[in-house]
Structure 1
Protein backbone atom coordinates (compact mmCIF):
# COMPACT_ATOMS: atom_id res chain seq x y z
CA UNK A 1 0.00 0.00 0.00
CA UNK A 2 2.95 2.31 0.52
CA UNK A 3 4.06 2.08 -3.10
CA UNK A 4 3.04 4.83 -5.50
CA UNK A 5 1.33 3.44 -8.60
CA UNK A 6 3.14 3.61 -11.92
CA UNK A 7 -0.21 4.52 -13.48
CA UNK A 8 -0.35 7.63 -11.31
CA UNK A 9 3.06 8.83 -12.40
CA UNK A 10 2.32 8.17 -16.09
CA UNK A 11 -1.04 9.95 -15.92
CA UNK A 12 0.30 12.92 -13.96
CA UNK A 13 3.14 13.69 -16.37
CA UNK A 14 0.99 12.86 -19.38
CA UNK A 15 -1.53 15.41 -18.19
CA UNK A 16 1.20 17.99 -17.68
CA UNK A 17 2.18 17.50 -21.32
CA UNK A 18 -1.39 17.50 -22.61
CA UNK A 19 -2.06 20.81 -20.86
CA UNK A 20 1.11 22.39 -22.27
CA UNK A 21 3.01 22.68 -19.00
CA UNK A 22 5.99 20.48 -19.86
CA UNK A 23 7.79 19.33 -22.99
CA UNK A 24 7.40 15.81 -24.41
CA UNK A 25 10.89 14.86 -23.26
CA UNK A 26 10.28 16.17 -19.73
CA UNK A 27 6.96 14.32 -19.56
CA UNK A 28 8.57 11.08 -20.67
CA UNK A 29 11.37 11.48 -18.10
CA UNK A 30 8.98 12.37 -15.27
CA UNK A 31 6.65 9.44 -15.99
CA UNK A 32 9.39 6.85 -15.48
CA UNK A 33 10.47 5.60 -12.07
CA UNK A 34 14.17 5.74 -11.17
CA UNK A 35 14.70 2.03 -11.86
CA UNK A 36 12.19 1.60 -14.69
CA UNK A 37 12.30 1.50 -18.47
CA UNK A 38 8.93 2.30 -20.08
CA UNK A 39 7.58 1.74 -23.58
CA UNK A 40 4.09 1.70 -25.09
CA UNK A 41 2.76 -1.05 -27.40
CA UNK A 42 -0.31 -1.35 -29.60
CA UNK A 43 -0.41 2.23 -30.84
CA UNK A 44 -2.00 2.62 -34.28
CA UNK A 45 0.64 3.01 -36.98
CA UNK A 46 3.43 1.54 -34.86
CA UNK A 47 4.72 -1.98 -35.56
CA UNK A 48 6.10 -2.45 -32.04
CA UNK A 49 6.67 -0.77 -28.68
CA UNK A 50 7.82 2.86 -28.77
CA UNK A 51 9.30 5.23 -26.22
CA UNK A 52 7.09 7.51 -24.15
CA UNK A 53 8.06 10.72 -25.95
CA UNK A 54 6.66 9.37 -29.22
CA UNK A 55 3.84 7.53 -27.45
CA UNK A 56 2.47 10.67 -25.81
CA UNK A 57 2.33 12.32 -29.22
CA UNK A 58 0.50 9.35 -30.68
CA UNK A 59 -2.04 9.46 -27.84
CA UNK A 60 -2.71 13.12 -28.54
CA UNK A 61 -3.28 12.16 -32.18
CA UNK A 62 -5.89 9.63 -31.04
CA UNK A 63 -7.84 12.45 -29.41
CA UNK A 64 -6.60 12.00 -25.86
CA UNK A 65 -6.88 15.27 -23.94
CA UNK A 66 -6.58 14.00 -20.35
CA UNK A 67 -5.53 10.82 -18.57
CA UNK A 68 -7.25 9.16 -15.63
CA UNK A 69 -6.05 6.50 -13.20
CA UNK A 70 -7.73 3.25 -12.21
CA UNK A 71 -6.59 1.28 -9.14
CA UNK A 72 -8.89 -1.75 -9.09
CA UNK A 73 -8.88 -4.56 -6.54
CA UNK A 74 -10.98 -7.73 -6.26
CA UNK A 75 -14.57 -6.68 -5.61
CA UNK A 76 -13.76 -3.01 -6.17
CA UNK A 77 -13.17 -2.06 -9.85
CA UNK A 78 -12.22 1.50 -8.93
CA UNK A 79 -11.76 3.75 -11.96
CA UNK A 80 -12.70 1.19 -14.62
CA UNK A 81 -15.40 1.64 -17.24
CA UNK A 82 -15.11 -1.55 -19.36
CA UNK A 83 -15.15 -3.56 -21.51
CA UNK A 84 -14.80 -6.70 -19.36
CA UNK A 85 -11.59 -7.89 -21.02
CA UNK A 86 -9.87 -4.56 -20.31
CA UNK A 87 -11.17 -4.59 -16.74
CA UNK A 88 -9.81 -8.10 -16.23
CA UNK A 89 -6.35 -7.11 -17.47
CA UNK A 90 -6.36 -3.98 -15.30
CA UNK A 91 -7.48 -5.95 -12.26
CA UNK A 92 -4.65 -8.42 -12.76
CA UNK A 93 -2.17 -5.54 -13.00
CA UNK A 94 -3.78 -3.65 -10.12
CA UNK A 95 -3.70 -0.40 -12.09
CA UNK A 96 -4.41 1.20 -15.44
CA UNK A 97 -4.52 4.56 -17.21
CA UNK A 98 -7.61 5.58 -19.13
CA UNK A 99 -8.79 8.29 -21.48
CA UNK A 100 -12.44 7.23 -21.75
CA UNK A 101 -13.39 10.37 -23.67
CA UNK A 102 -11.13 9.09 -26.47
CA UNK A 103 -11.88 5.39 -25.91
CA UNK A 104 -8.26 4.59 -24.99
CA UNK A 105 -6.87 2.57 -22.09
CA UNK A 106 -3.39 1.46 -21.00
CA UNK A 107 -2.45 -1.53 -18.84
CA UNK A 108 1.13 -2.11 -17.66
CA UNK A 109 3.04 -5.35 -18.11
CA UNK A 110 5.94 -5.35 -15.66
CA UNK A 111 9.00 -7.58 -15.83
CA UNK A 112 12.13 -7.59 -13.68
CA UNK A 113 15.63 -8.92 -14.16
CA UNK A 114 18.85 -8.87 -12.18
CA UNK A 115 22.13 -8.01 -13.89
CA UNK A 116 25.39 -7.55 -11.99
CA UNK A 117 23.41 -7.17 -8.78
CA UNK A 118 21.23 -4.38 -10.21
CA UNK A 119 17.49 -4.85 -10.65
CA UNK A 120 16.07 -3.54 -13.91
CA UNK A 121 12.34 -3.08 -14.31
CA UNK A 122 10.77 -2.98 -17.76
CA UNK A 123 7.23 -1.68 -18.16
CA UNK A 124 5.28 -2.09 -21.39
CA UNK A 125 1.99 -0.20 -21.49
CA UNK A 126 -0.50 -2.12 -23.63
CA UNK A 127 -2.95 0.10 -25.51
CA UNK A 128 -6.56 -1.10 -25.75
CA UNK A 129 -10.02 0.25 -26.45
CA UNK A 130 -12.24 1.21 -23.53
CA UNK A 131 -15.80 2.39 -23.28
CA UNK A 132 -16.41 6.09 -23.56
CA UNK A 133 -18.20 6.26 -20.22
CA UNK A 134 -16.68 8.04 -17.24
CA UNK A 135 -15.85 5.55 -14.48
CA UNK A 136 -18.31 5.38 -11.58
CA UNK A 137 -17.41 5.37 -7.89
CA UNK A 138 -14.56 7.88 -8.22
CA UNK A 139 -14.74 10.53 -5.48
CA UNK A 140 -14.02 14.20 -5.91
CA UNK A 141 -10.95 15.65 -4.23
CA UNK A 142 -13.06 17.20 -1.50
CA UNK A 143 -14.88 13.93 -0.83
CA UNK A 144 -11.61 11.98 -0.69
CA UNK A 145 -10.04 14.54 1.64
CA UNK A 146 -12.96 14.40 4.07
CA UNK A 147 -13.02 10.61 4.00
CA UNK A 148 -9.30 10.34 4.67
CA UNK A 149 -9.31 12.93 7.45
CA UNK A 150 -11.97 10.97 9.33
CA UNK A 151 -10.20 7.69 8.67
CA UNK A 152 -6.85 9.08 9.84
CA UNK A 153 -8.35 10.11 13.16
CA UNK A 154 -10.23 6.83 13.65
CA UNK A 155 -7.21 4.72 12.73
CA UNK A 156 -4.93 6.63 15.09
CA UNK A 157 -7.46 6.26 17.91
CA UNK A 158 -7.82 2.57 17.17
CA UNK A 159 -4.07 1.99 17.26
CA UNK A 160 -3.94 3.75 20.60
CA UNK A 161 -6.68 1.43 21.91
CA UNK A 162 -4.62 -1.55 20.76
CA UNK A 163 -1.69 -0.29 22.80
CA UNK A 164 0.65 -0.27 19.80
CA UNK A 165 2.23 3.19 19.94
CA UNK A 166 5.06 2.38 17.54
CA UNK A 167 5.98 -0.26 15.02
CA UNK A 168 8.50 -3.05 15.43
CA UNK A 169 11.80 -3.20 13.51
CA UNK A 170 10.36 -4.72 10.33
CA UNK A 171 7.61 -2.12 10.06
CA UNK A 172 10.01 0.69 10.93
CA UNK A 173 12.39 -0.41 8.17
CA UNK A 174 9.52 -0.45 5.68
CA UNK A 175 8.40 3.00 6.78
CA UNK A 176 11.90 4.45 6.56
CA UNK A 177 12.40 3.04 3.06
CA UNK A 178 9.05 4.43 1.98
CA UNK A 179 9.77 7.86 3.44
CA UNK A 180 13.10 7.94 1.62
CA UNK A 181 11.34 7.15 -1.66
CA UNK A 182 8.64 9.72 -0.95
CA UNK A 183 11.26 12.41 -0.28
CA UNK A 184 13.17 11.50 -3.43
CA UNK A 185 9.95 11.57 -5.49
CA UNK A 186 8.52 14.62 -3.74
CA UNK A 187 7.16 16.09 -6.99
CA UNK A 188 5.17 12.98 -7.93
CA UNK A 189 2.27 15.13 -9.04
CA UNK A 190 3.42 16.95 -12.13
CA UNK A 191 3.04 20.68 -12.89
CA UNK A 192 -0.55 21.81 -13.20
CA UNK A 193 -2.04 19.82 -10.33
CA UNK A 194 -3.91 21.79 -7.64
CA UNK A 195 -2.47 21.98 -4.12
CA UNK A 196 -5.46 20.06 -2.81
CA UNK A 197 -4.46 17.03 -4.89
CA UNK A 198 -1.01 17.06 -3.29
CA UNK A 199 -2.62 17.36 0.14
CA UNK A 200 -4.89 14.38 -0.51
CA UNK A 201 -1.94 12.22 -1.54
CA UNK A 202 -0.07 13.22 1.61
CA UNK A 203 -3.10 12.25 3.72
CA UNK A 204 -3.23 8.87 1.96
CA UNK A 205 0.43 8.32 2.84
CA UNK A 206 -0.13 9.14 6.50
CA UNK A 207 -3.05 6.72 6.69
CA UNK A 208 -0.98 4.01 5.03
CA UNK A 209 1.84 4.54 7.53
CA UNK A 210 -0.56 4.04 10.41
CA UNK A 211 -1.72 0.79 8.87
CA UNK A 212 1.88 -0.46 8.67
CA UNK A 213 2.21 0.24 12.39
CA UNK A 214 -1.03 -1.54 13.21
CA UNK A 215 -0.30 -4.58 11.05
CA UNK A 216 3.34 -5.10 12.06
CA UNK A 217 3.88 -8.88 12.42
CA UNK A 218 5.88 -8.37 15.61
CA UNK A 219 2.62 -7.56 17.37
CA UNK A 220 0.73 -10.70 16.35
CA UNK A 221 1.63 -12.80 19.37
CA UNK A 222 0.87 -9.98 21.80
CA UNK A 223 -2.70 -9.42 20.63
CA UNK A 224 -5.72 -11.06 22.17
CA UNK A 225 -8.52 -12.39 19.98
CA UNK A 226 -10.48 -9.21 20.60
CA UNK A 227 -7.54 -7.00 19.71
CA UNK A 228 -6.92 -8.98 16.52
CA UNK A 229 -10.55 -8.45 15.53
CA UNK A 230 -10.25 -4.74 16.24
CA UNK A 231 -7.09 -4.54 14.14
CA UNK A 232 -8.89 -6.23 11.23
CA UNK A 233 -11.74 -3.73 11.53
CA UNK A 234 -9.22 -0.86 11.48
CA UNK A 235 -7.31 -2.07 8.45
CA UNK A 236 -10.21 -3.24 6.29
CA UNK A 237 -11.52 0.16 5.11
CA UNK A 238 -8.13 1.83 4.88
CA UNK A 239 -6.87 0.16 1.73
CA UNK A 240 -10.05 1.09 -0.14
CA UNK A 241 -10.05 4.68 1.11
CA UNK A 242 -6.36 5.15 0.27
CA UNK A 243 -6.90 3.90 -3.27
CA UNK A 244 -9.95 6.14 -3.70
CA UNK A 245 -7.92 9.11 -2.54
CA UNK A 246 -5.06 8.33 -4.90
CA UNK A 247 -7.42 8.05 -7.86
CA UNK A 248 -9.11 11.33 -6.95
CA UNK A 249 -5.74 13.10 -6.69
CA UNK A 250 -4.30 11.77 -9.95
CA UNK A 251 -7.57 12.45 -11.77
CA UNK A 252 -7.75 16.07 -10.65
CA UNK A 253 -6.39 17.42 -13.95
CA UNK A 254 -8.79 15.30 -15.97
CA UNK A 255 -11.72 16.47 -13.86
CA UNK A 256 -10.65 20.08 -14.36
CA UNK A 257 -10.35 19.52 -18.11
CA UNK A 258 -13.82 17.97 -18.21
CA UNK A 259 -15.19 21.10 -16.54
CA UNK A 260 -13.49 23.24 -19.15
CA UNK A 261 -11.03 24.63 -16.62
CA UNK A 262 -7.86 24.10 -18.63
Structure 2
Protein backbone atom coordinates (compact mmCIF):
# COMPACT_ATOMS: atom_id res chain seq x y z
CA UNK A 1 0.00 0.00 0.00
CA UNK A 2 1.11 3.65 -0.21
CA UNK A 3 3.41 4.39 2.70
CA UNK A 4 4.90 7.32 4.65
CA UNK A 5 8.41 6.44 3.49
CA UNK A 6 7.47 6.95 -0.17
CA UNK A 7 6.01 10.36 0.64
CA UNK A 8 9.14 11.31 2.61
CA UNK A 9 11.51 10.14 -0.14
CA UNK A 10 9.85 12.19 -2.87
CA UNK A 11 9.08 15.37 -0.95
CA UNK A 12 12.33 15.51 1.04
CA UNK A 13 14.34 14.90 -2.13
CA UNK A 14 12.43 17.68 -3.88
CA UNK A 15 13.11 20.03 -0.98
CA UNK A 16 16.80 19.15 -0.79
CA UNK A 17 17.08 20.03 -4.49
CA UNK A 18 15.26 23.33 -3.97
CA UNK A 19 12.21 22.23 -5.93
CA UNK A 20 9.69 22.75 -3.14
CA UNK A 21 9.29 24.54 0.19
CA UNK A 22 9.76 22.97 3.61
CA UNK A 23 6.13 23.71 4.51
CA UNK A 24 5.02 21.70 1.47
CA UNK A 25 6.97 18.69 2.73
CA UNK A 26 5.42 18.95 6.19
CA UNK A 27 1.93 19.36 4.74
CA UNK A 28 2.34 16.29 2.50
CA UNK A 29 3.40 14.14 5.45
CA UNK A 30 0.28 15.01 7.46
CA UNK A 31 -1.81 12.53 5.48
CA UNK A 32 0.00 9.83 7.51
CA UNK A 33 -0.43 11.52 10.88
CA UNK A 34 -1.56 14.94 12.00
CA UNK A 35 1.40 15.02 14.38
CA UNK A 36 4.90 14.06 13.24
CA UNK A 37 7.77 13.34 15.64
CA UNK A 38 11.46 12.68 15.14
CA UNK A 39 14.30 11.32 17.21
CA UNK A 40 17.72 9.74 16.63
CA UNK A 41 18.28 6.04 17.29
CA UNK A 42 21.39 6.67 19.43
CA UNK A 43 22.96 9.52 21.39
CA UNK A 44 26.01 9.86 19.14
CA UNK A 45 23.87 10.47 16.07
CA UNK A 46 21.63 12.78 18.09
CA UNK A 47 24.61 14.97 18.99
CA UNK A 48 25.90 15.01 15.41
CA UNK A 49 22.56 16.04 13.89
CA UNK A 50 21.18 18.14 16.78
CA UNK A 51 18.25 15.78 17.21
CA UNK A 52 16.64 14.36 20.37
CA UNK A 53 18.15 11.04 21.46
CA UNK A 54 16.26 7.82 22.14
CA UNK A 55 15.52 8.81 25.74
CA UNK A 56 14.60 12.42 24.96
CA UNK A 57 11.27 13.98 24.08
CA UNK A 58 10.88 13.73 20.29
CA UNK A 59 11.03 16.93 18.27
CA UNK A 60 8.88 18.15 15.39
CA UNK A 61 9.49 17.30 11.72
CA UNK A 62 11.00 20.70 10.87
CA UNK A 63 14.04 19.68 12.92
CA UNK A 64 14.32 16.52 10.81
CA UNK A 65 14.53 18.55 7.62
CA UNK A 66 17.23 20.72 9.17
CA UNK A 67 19.12 17.58 10.15
CA UNK A 68 18.90 16.19 6.63
CA UNK A 69 20.28 19.43 5.21
CA UNK A 70 23.08 19.42 7.76
CA UNK A 71 23.95 15.79 6.99
CA UNK A 72 24.58 16.50 3.31
CA UNK A 73 21.69 14.31 2.16
CA UNK A 74 20.50 14.70 -1.44
CA UNK A 75 18.34 12.07 -3.10
CA UNK A 76 16.40 9.60 -0.99
CA UNK A 77 15.67 5.98 -1.84
CA UNK A 78 12.66 3.88 -0.89
CA UNK A 79 13.20 0.50 0.76
CA UNK A 80 10.30 -1.98 0.99
CA UNK A 81 11.82 -5.03 2.69
CA UNK A 82 9.91 -8.23 3.30
CA UNK A 83 10.91 -11.62 4.74
CA UNK A 84 13.29 -13.17 2.23
CA UNK A 85 13.75 -9.87 0.39
CA UNK A 86 15.93 -7.33 2.23
CA UNK A 87 17.64 -5.84 -0.82
CA UNK A 88 19.18 -2.46 -0.20
CA UNK A 89 19.46 -2.85 3.57
CA UNK A 90 22.91 -4.45 3.79
CA UNK A 91 23.90 -6.63 6.73
CA UNK A 92 21.92 -7.03 9.93
CA UNK A 93 21.81 -3.78 11.91
CA UNK A 94 19.35 -1.94 14.16
CA UNK A 95 18.21 -0.02 11.06
CA UNK A 96 17.70 -3.08 8.86
CA UNK A 97 15.87 -4.94 11.63
CA UNK A 98 13.50 -2.04 12.25
CA UNK A 99 12.98 -1.46 8.54
CA UNK A 100 12.12 -5.12 8.02
CA UNK A 101 9.73 -5.07 10.96
CA UNK A 102 7.93 -2.04 9.52
CA UNK A 103 8.20 -3.16 5.90
CA UNK A 104 9.43 0.26 4.75
CA UNK A 105 12.22 2.79 5.19
CA UNK A 106 13.93 5.81 3.68
CA UNK A 107 17.61 5.52 2.77
CA UNK A 108 19.81 8.60 2.30
CA UNK A 109 23.02 7.03 1.03
CA UNK A 110 25.12 10.20 0.69
CA UNK A 111 24.44 11.07 4.33
CA UNK A 112 24.70 7.52 5.66
CA UNK A 113 21.26 7.77 7.22
CA UNK A 114 18.10 5.69 7.31
CA UNK A 115 14.63 6.77 8.47
CA UNK A 116 11.94 4.41 9.69
CA UNK A 117 8.39 5.62 10.43
CA UNK A 118 6.14 4.13 13.08
CA UNK A 119 2.64 5.03 14.24
CA UNK A 120 3.02 5.37 18.02
CA UNK A 121 -0.52 6.56 18.76
CA UNK A 122 -3.60 7.55 16.80
CA UNK A 123 -2.64 10.44 14.55
CA UNK A 124 1.03 10.42 15.65
CA UNK A 125 3.79 9.24 13.32
CA UNK A 126 7.33 9.02 14.67
CA UNK A 127 10.45 9.00 12.47
CA UNK A 128 13.55 7.37 13.92
CA UNK A 129 16.85 8.33 12.29
CA UNK A 130 19.47 5.60 12.14
CA UNK A 131 23.11 5.66 11.13
CA UNK A 132 23.76 3.22 8.30
CA UNK A 133 27.07 1.89 7.11
CA UNK A 134 27.99 1.31 3.51
CA UNK A 135 24.98 -0.16 1.76
CA UNK A 136 24.80 -2.02 -1.53
CA UNK A 137 23.86 0.20 -4.49
CA UNK A 138 20.14 0.57 -5.01
CA UNK A 139 18.80 -1.85 -7.60
CA UNK A 140 17.90 0.09 -10.74
CA UNK A 141 14.71 -1.02 -12.43
CA UNK A 142 13.84 1.02 -15.55
CA UNK A 143 10.38 2.52 -15.35
CA UNK A 144 9.37 0.81 -18.61
CA UNK A 145 10.37 -2.58 -17.24
CA UNK A 146 8.43 -1.87 -14.06
CA UNK A 147 5.34 -0.99 -16.06
CA UNK A 148 5.64 -4.16 -18.11
CA UNK A 149 6.08 -6.17 -14.92
CA UNK A 150 2.92 -4.69 -13.47
CA UNK A 151 0.96 -5.53 -16.60
CA UNK A 152 2.15 -9.13 -16.35
CA UNK A 153 1.32 -9.15 -12.65
CA UNK A 154 -2.22 -7.98 -13.35
CA UNK A 155 -2.75 -10.83 -15.80
CA UNK A 156 -1.15 -13.38 -13.48
CA UNK A 157 -3.20 -12.17 -10.52
CA UNK A 158 -6.43 -12.57 -12.48
CA UNK A 159 -5.39 -16.02 -13.65
CA UNK A 160 -4.42 -17.08 -10.13
CA UNK A 161 -7.74 -15.91 -8.71
CA UNK A 162 -9.56 -18.01 -11.29
CA UNK A 163 -7.34 -21.05 -10.66
CA UNK A 164 -7.92 -20.78 -6.91
CA UNK A 165 -11.64 -20.24 -7.43
CA UNK A 166 -11.49 -17.12 -5.27
CA UNK A 167 -14.34 -15.33 -7.02
CA UNK A 168 -16.69 -18.27 -6.50
CA UNK A 169 -15.87 -18.49 -2.79
CA UNK A 170 -16.12 -14.71 -2.29
CA UNK A 171 -19.38 -13.16 -3.51
CA UNK A 172 -18.89 -9.46 -4.21
CA UNK A 173 -15.12 -9.85 -4.55
CA UNK A 174 -14.84 -7.10 -7.18
CA UNK A 175 -16.57 -4.60 -4.90
CA UNK A 176 -14.30 -5.68 -2.06
CA UNK A 177 -11.20 -4.99 -4.18
CA UNK A 178 -12.52 -1.60 -5.32
CA UNK A 179 -13.33 -0.66 -1.73
CA UNK A 180 -9.86 -1.68 -0.56
CA UNK A 181 -8.24 0.60 -3.14
CA UNK A 182 -10.61 3.51 -2.44
CA UNK A 183 -10.06 3.39 1.32
CA UNK A 184 -6.27 3.76 1.13
CA UNK A 185 -4.61 7.13 1.74
CA UNK A 186 -3.93 9.13 -1.42
CA UNK A 187 -0.80 11.16 -0.72
CA UNK A 188 -0.18 14.36 -2.67
CA UNK A 189 2.86 14.63 -4.94
CA UNK A 190 4.88 17.63 -6.16
CA UNK A 191 3.49 19.31 -9.28
CA UNK A 192 6.44 18.39 -11.48
CA UNK A 193 6.30 14.62 -10.99
CA UNK A 194 5.60 12.75 -14.26
CA UNK A 195 2.32 10.96 -14.84
CA UNK A 196 3.81 7.58 -15.77
CA UNK A 197 5.08 6.62 -12.29
CA UNK A 198 1.84 7.91 -10.77
CA UNK A 199 -0.09 5.60 -13.08
CA UNK A 200 2.12 2.66 -12.10
CA UNK A 201 1.64 3.42 -8.41
CA UNK A 202 -2.12 3.34 -8.91
CA UNK A 203 -1.90 0.01 -10.70
CA UNK A 204 0.31 -1.31 -7.91
CA UNK A 205 -2.42 -0.48 -5.41
CA UNK A 206 -4.98 -2.30 -7.55
CA UNK A 207 -2.83 -5.41 -7.91
CA UNK A 208 -2.02 -5.44 -4.20
CA UNK A 209 -5.72 -5.16 -3.33
CA UNK A 210 -6.40 -8.22 -5.48
CA UNK A 211 -3.60 -10.10 -3.77
CA UNK A 212 -4.77 -9.29 -0.26
CA UNK A 213 -8.31 -10.39 -1.10
CA UNK A 214 -6.87 -13.57 -2.63
CA UNK A 215 -5.03 -14.38 0.61
CA UNK A 216 -7.89 -13.48 2.96
CA UNK A 217 -10.16 -16.48 3.38
CA UNK A 218 -13.84 -15.80 3.66
CA UNK A 219 -15.66 -17.20 6.71
CA UNK A 220 -16.29 -20.89 6.17
CA UNK A 221 -14.06 -20.95 3.10
CA UNK A 222 -10.64 -21.57 4.59
CA UNK A 223 -8.27 -23.62 2.48
CA UNK A 224 -6.40 -26.68 3.64
CA UNK A 225 -2.82 -26.20 4.84
CA UNK A 226 -1.38 -27.58 1.60
CA UNK A 227 -3.65 -25.42 -0.55
CA UNK A 228 -2.73 -22.37 1.51
CA UNK A 229 0.96 -23.06 0.96
CA UNK A 230 0.41 -23.49 -2.76
CA UNK A 231 -1.50 -20.23 -2.91
CA UNK A 232 1.23 -18.39 -0.99
CA UNK A 233 3.92 -19.67 -3.34
CA UNK A 234 1.86 -18.76 -6.39
CA UNK A 235 1.22 -15.22 -5.23
CA UNK A 236 4.64 -14.37 -3.77
CA UNK A 237 6.11 -13.25 -7.14
CA UNK A 238 3.18 -10.90 -7.56
CA UNK A 239 3.78 -9.27 -4.18
CA UNK A 240 7.44 -8.91 -5.19
CA UNK A 241 6.46 -7.23 -8.46
CA UNK A 242 4.28 -4.73 -6.60
CA UNK A 243 7.15 -3.70 -4.33
CA UNK A 244 9.54 -3.50 -7.28
CA UNK A 245 7.15 -1.31 -9.24
CA UNK A 246 6.69 1.03 -6.28
CA UNK A 247 10.43 1.40 -5.77
CA UNK A 248 10.97 2.08 -9.49
CA UNK A 249 8.16 4.64 -9.58
CA UNK A 250 9.46 6.55 -6.57
CA UNK A 251 13.02 6.46 -7.96
CA UNK A 252 11.76 7.88 -11.26
CA UNK A 253 9.95 10.71 -9.46
CA UNK A 254 13.12 11.61 -7.56
CA UNK A 255 15.21 11.49 -10.74
CA UNK A 256 12.85 13.77 -12.68
CA UNK A 257 12.52 16.27 -9.81
CA UNK A 258 16.30 16.46 -9.39
CA UNK A 259 16.81 16.88 -13.13
CA UNK A 260 14.16 19.59 -13.28
CA UNK A 261 15.66 21.47 -10.34
CA UNK A 262 19.12 21.42 -11.91
CA UNK A 263 17.78 23.26 -14.98
CA UNK A 264 16.51 26.21 -12.94
> What's the TM-score once normalised by structure 1's chain length?
0.79
What SS class does the counterpart of residue 26 from structure 1 fall into?
helix
Correspondence for 2:43: none
- Paired with 1:224 and 1:46, the residues of 2 have a C-alpha distance of 51
Correspondence for 1:178: 181
- Paired with 2:162 and 2:189, the residues of 1 have a C-alpha distance of 32
- Paired with 1:136 and 1:198, the residues of 2 have a C-alpha distance of 21
Shift of 1:220: 6.7
Correspondence for 1:45: 50
Residue 83 (structure 2) pairs with residue 74 (structure 1): yes
Structure 1 segments of 4+ aligned residues over 6 angstroms from their partners? 222-227, 257-261
How many residues align? The count is: 250
Correspondence for 1:99: 108
Correspondence for 2:214: 214
- Paired with 1:146 and 1:128, the residues of 2 have a C-alpha distance of 35
Contact 2:10/2:254, CA 8 A, preserved across alignment = no
- Paired with 1:201 and 1:69, the residues of 2 have a C-alpha distance of 13
Correspondence for 1:25: 23
Correspondence for 2:97: 88
What SS class does the counterpart of residue 123 from structure 2 fall into?
strand
Contact 1:9/1:30, CA 8 A, preserved across alignment = yes
Shift of 1:205: 1.4
> What's the TM-score once normalised by structure 2's chain length?
0.79
Correspondence for 1:203: 203
Q: Give a deviation string over 1:202-222, Cα, whole Å, max 9, x none.
A: 221121122134234128738
What SS class does the counterpart of residue 139 from structure 1 fall into?
coil
Correspondence for 1:16: 14
What SS class does the counterpart of residue 217 from structure 1 fall into?
coil
- Paired with 1:174 and 1:157, the residues of 2 have a C-alpha distance of 16
What value does the CA root-mean-square deviation take over the aligned residues?
3.2
Q: CA 1:156–1:169 in 2, change beyond 3 Å: closer, same or farther?
A: closer
- Paired with 1:67 and 1:144, the residues of 2 have a C-alpha distance of 19
Contact 2:88/2:135, CA 8 A, preserved across alignment = no
Correspondence for 1:115: none
For structure 1, which segment, 206-215 or 251-260, has the greater mean C-alpha deviation from structure 2 after superposition?
Answer: 251-260
* Alignment map for 1:45-64 (pairs within 5 Å): 45-47=50-52, 49-64=58-73
